[in-house]
């Protein structure tokens, strides 16, 4: 039987990389996109291939429509099918108050985290919808528990961009439910990845872990587990759901 194909944006590191490796072990062919870190992306590809499934890494900024179109074109050319999209690529910025935020910062935050996810979802729907001749599929958006908490004094812009992604999840889920596509989101809490250092807070997980009811940060694999469930037939009747994975930090 032909294997199913998943496209994971931002699959070179962190939650995306953990999802790619886990998907391969569960029999999926895997396409990952990345922005800058080719070596990290190639290491994920090598791990996926070791697990015995096919893998491809494509450089594409999710906030750039032409690059996203080229990414989906590569999936079409090399795999000829798409069964799941994980909208995982995302960025934070330095901790700032709203009073300090520049328009450039706001535009980047929404372009990558929100508009990028919309463009990828659009391209996935065009391929997977039974109305467009596809065979159905699943979209999993990687949001954040910040959309519940608001992230005051740190990155309200990021929280708001993820809040928009939550609403897209609800609306698109209903829009395409009768077209064979399920759309869900995970909302991770404090997860041990490089994203905190990229926002200038390398010690963020360690510092804030005592505030988490479970008293620890989470691992990327603990988020990947939920993403894999939402991609799989095991969640057949689940759509429009926002699954919080935050050790009780709500």
Active site residues per annotation:
158
- Residue 89 as a binder of ligand NAP (CB under 6 A): the answer is yes
Instruction: Tell me how far the alpha carbon of residue 186 is from its chain's centroid.
Output: 9
Which residue from 229, 221, 242 is spatially nearest to 20, judged by alpha carbons?
A: 221
CB of 145 to ligand NAP, least distance (A): 6
DSSP of the chain, one letter per residue? -PPPEEEETT-SSHHHHHHHHHHHHTT-EEEEEESS-HHHHHHHHHHHHHTTS-EEEEE--TT-HHHHHHHHHHHHHHHS---EEEE----------GGG--HHHHHHHHIIIIIHHHHHHHHHHHHH-GGGT---EEEEEE--THHHH--TTT-HHHHHHHHHHHHHHHHHHHHHGGGTEEEEEEEE-SB-STHHHHTT-TTHHHHHGGGSTTSSPBPHHHHHHHHHHHHSGGGTT--S-EEEESTT--
The token pair at 230 is 């939402």
CB of 141 to ligand NAP, least distance (A): 9
Contacts to ligand NAP from residues 179-208, by CB under 6 A: 188, 190-191, 193-195, 198
Which residue, 107 or 194, has its beta carbon nearer to ligand NAP? 194
Which residue, 60 or 173, has its beta carbon nearer to ligand NAP? 60
- Residue 61 as a binder of ligand NAP (CB under 6 A): the answer is yes
CB of 194 to ligand NAP, least distance (A): 4
Separation CA 55–CA 193 (nearest Å): 22
- Residue 15 as a binder of ligand NAP (CB under 6 A): the answer is yes
Let me know: does 29 contact 3? Beta carbons within 8 Å: yes
Answer for which of 4, 21, 79, 90 binds ligand NAP (CB under 6 A) is 90
Could you tell me how many residues of this chain bind ligand NAP (CB under 6 A)? 30
- Residue 37 as a binder of ligand NAP (CB under 6 A): the answer is yes
Which residue, 96 or 198, has its beta carbon nearer to ligand NAP? 198
Separation CA 31–CA 34 (nearest Å): 10
Which residue, 16 or 137, has its beta carbon nearer to ligand NAP? 16
- Residue 163 as a binder of ligand NAP (CB under 6 A): the answer is no
- Residue 16 as a binder of ligand NAP (CB under 6 A): the answer is yes
Which residue, 115 or 134, has its beta carbon nearer to ligand NAP? 115
Contacts to ligand NAP from residues 110-129, by CB under 6 A: 112
CB of 130 to ligand NAP, least distance (A): 28
Answer for which of 6, 10, 155, 235 binds ligand NAP (CB under 6 A) is 10
Q: Which residues here bind ligand NAP, judged by CB under 6 A?
A: 9-10, 12-16, 33-37, 40, 61-63, 88-91, 112, 142, 144, 188, 190-191, 193-195, 198
């Amino acid at each position: 039987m032909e294997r199913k194909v998943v496209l994971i944006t931002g699959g070179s590191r962190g939650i995306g990389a953990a999802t790619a490796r886990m998907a391969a072990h569960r029999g999926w062919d895997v396409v990952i996109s990345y922005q800058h870190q080719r070596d990290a992306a190639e290491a994920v590809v090598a791990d996926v291939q070791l697990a015995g499934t096919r893998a491809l890494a494509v450089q594409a900024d999710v906030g750039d429509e032409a690059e996203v179109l080229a990414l989906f074109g590569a999936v079409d050319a090399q795999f000829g099918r798409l069964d799941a999209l994980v909208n995982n690529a995302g960025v934070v910025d330095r901790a700032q108050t709203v009073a300090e935020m520049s328009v450039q910062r706001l535009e980047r935050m929404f372009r990558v985290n929100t508009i990028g996810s919309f463009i990828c979802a659009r391209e996935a729907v065009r391929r997977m919808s039974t109305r467009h001749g596809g065979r159905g599929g699943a979209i999993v958006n990687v949001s954040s528990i910040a959309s519940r908490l608001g992230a005051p004094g740190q990155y309200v812009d990021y929280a708001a961009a993820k809040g928009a992604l939550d609403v897209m999840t609800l609306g698109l889920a209903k829009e395409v439910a009768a077209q064979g596509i399920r759309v869900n989101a995970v909302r991770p809490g404090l997860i041990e990845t490089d994203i905190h250092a990229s926002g200038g807070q390398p010690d963020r997980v360690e510092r804030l872990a005592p505030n988490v009811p479970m008293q620890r940060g989470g691992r990327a694999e603990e988020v990947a587990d939920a993403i894999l469930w939402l991609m799989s037939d095991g969640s057949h009747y689940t759509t429009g759901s926002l699954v919080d994975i935050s050790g009780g930090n709500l």
